[in-house]
Amino acid sequence: MSTKGQNIDVSMCSFHSVVVYQDRAEIKREICVNVKGGESDIIITGLSESIDGDSIHVEGQGNDATINDVTYYTSTKNKNEDDTEDAHRSILEKIKEKERELSRLDFHRQTL
């Protein structure tokens, strides 16, 4: 059984409806995809980073089509990990710089 995939950037899709509440908004979009027989993966990108993954609902229409699974994941962790590594490197460089400065001062103190 072969898996076919389609990537769809949701920011390029029009809004079907928007309802604004005090603490959230409900946004509905219509995304049209054509799938052939067999299993297909539809990957939707461009969602807001503040989305509640548990609030995502998917409906499908068509002949003999079944939605087997909806999975939500974010790549924000990778960005945060990269930021953490950059901050760590920066701190280590500052420590090395201060150690060199301390070594120079210690040398000058000894020569006085």
pLDDT tens for the 112 residues of the chain, in order:
445 678 888 888 888 899 999 988 888 888 888 888 788 888 888 888 788 888 888 888 777 778 888 888 776 555 666 677 778 888 988 998 898 899 889 888 888 7
Q: What SS3 state is found at 43?
A: strand
Find out whether 72 and 56 touch, Cβ atoms under 8 Å: yes
pTM over 0.85: no
- The per-residue pLDDT for 61 is 79
